[in-house]
Chains A and B, each alone.
Chain A
Amino acid sequence: MTTRELGPIAGALRHIILMVGAAVMIAPFVWMVATSLKPQGEILVAELRFLPERWAALHNYTMAFTRVPMLRFLLNGVLVTAAIFALQILVNLPCAYALAKLRFRGRNALFAVVLLGLLIPLHATAIPIYILLHMLDLVNSYTALVLPFTISVFGIFLMRQFFMSVPNDLIDAARIDGVSEIGIVWRIMLPTAIPAVTAFGIFSVVAHWNDYFWPLIVVRTKDLYTPPLGVAFFRLNDAGTEYGPLMAAATIVILPLVTAFLLAQRRFIEGVTFTGLKR
């Protein structure tokens, strides 16, 4: 895009339009945080105010952690998201390397299946996977939350594309040094693939921290709730009309990703754009 600067009128017009747009985009966040700071008496008033007269932040945020086991939900979220990502790398990175750099029968067929898999959303396979987990008596377990996502055809695809550009000399040199194929995967390929792994990691963590559909289906008991389920439960709970604590809970749940995003914007936007384009 051109870097030519706009004239003063066009420039001002640009700011006016974008400011109005930005105000609309950020309004729910502002309302959320503002409400999370107010006491109940100031929330249920028909008056548009943002700052509280009497601050109730401490009360609301304490309630968010004590009314429901919010800490447990957050911990579950971290655990599930981290386990999914770690297993995704463990399972899919070797496969991506083999698809990119090794000759074996069935390679093209496997890659075709990977490409086909890219087109299928999880929702389409949810019922049979649920039935399978039900048969194995795994419904309502961490396994049910994690296992179906350990395979990521998208991860395979992304890392395979990356490995295609790694020079063969690097691999041959390692082989001559007597490094095994497994050793090549973890000691040589993984370090060179850090950019691709990071992009995939952002995609994976954002997707699974925010996921509501799958946990909603496989989780039955509160002790396994992930943050999105926790917020939905909080709303249904008796706290449903106590908007202060509820908005505090919502703030707590979106905070980790939003903070990470604000700290590493470029990486996040690149990661999401890149993965969005290829998916």
Chain B
Amino acid sequence: MEFFSNLFGPTWPLVWTLAKIVAIVLPIMGCVAYLTLAERKVIGFMQVRLGPNRVTFFGIRWLGGLAQPIADALKLLTKEIIIPSGANKVLFLMAPVLSLMPALAAWAVIPFDPELVLANVDAGLLYVMAITSMGVYGVIIAGWASNSKYAFLGCLRSAAQIVSYEIAMGFALVGVLMMSHSLNLVEIVKQQQGGLGALSWNFIPLFPMFIVYLISGVAETNRAPFDVAEGESEIVAGFHVEYSGMAFAVFFLAEYANMILVSTLTAVMFLGGWLSPVPFLPDGFPWLVGKVGFVLFLFLWFRATFPRYRYDQIMRLGWKVFIPVTLVWLMVIGGWMQTPYWPWK
């Protein structure tokens, strides 16, 4: 460490931060690649079939399917990016980047461990909300710049849906804020550390908000059953219908990176982050991985289980069910906290 800091001189803080960013982004990209494989395998097993099982490393039989994401990436990299006639070229190429950027930038404040966080900022929760709210621009710009009816319909649906569900999500996070008295994500996890293990995590006092946040997370990431922005059966592929090759792959990356991000946020805010569920086992990073994996499995399970919502039903669920539920529960815990019968300290 000393050697490197002498080597780079005054630019050392910059180099060190960049190294940390790479150390966070590269594993996320690996997770994204293998999440696509996990999704195909899990849904395959749920539908009593095998899923991808052919592509192996070096022809080793029992690794069947494990090289599938790498083969897919290579295929997409070598394909041509077709720019439709009449498309707005600059915005058309900028849109995938705009949708991937927030999915990666939000990781700056996610705590993996009490010490392991890139930027331990005070307004971490606000930062996450602000950054994730920018993700919709990728979808909107892609839909508009493609100069195509289906893409445009998809982008309008997505814009209305994401703005609606963000409100419910925001109210759910106000509940977390009331529990922890802090916007700092490290503090939010530390506050959930009671003597009771899993019983002192936020998901018990904030149970309705936990459910609302989980479902809104599925809606925010445009995943089934809320994937009307893509809607293969009605508007072909929605906002990314005109995209091919790597430009399409970046949208794909963004969707899966967003899934991992929302799962991690759920784990950090409602499921106790790196904390151990039982008091006699030590806390640590593996618990966070397990919780994120569980929430991700729920995402895949939802996709294999539920049929796609109709658009008016999505809007009704967001505005007329989730927002009132969160508002009422805010009142309930706000009042409950003032009484002496509040069991969480």
**A, B bound:** no
Residues of A within 8 A of B (CB): none
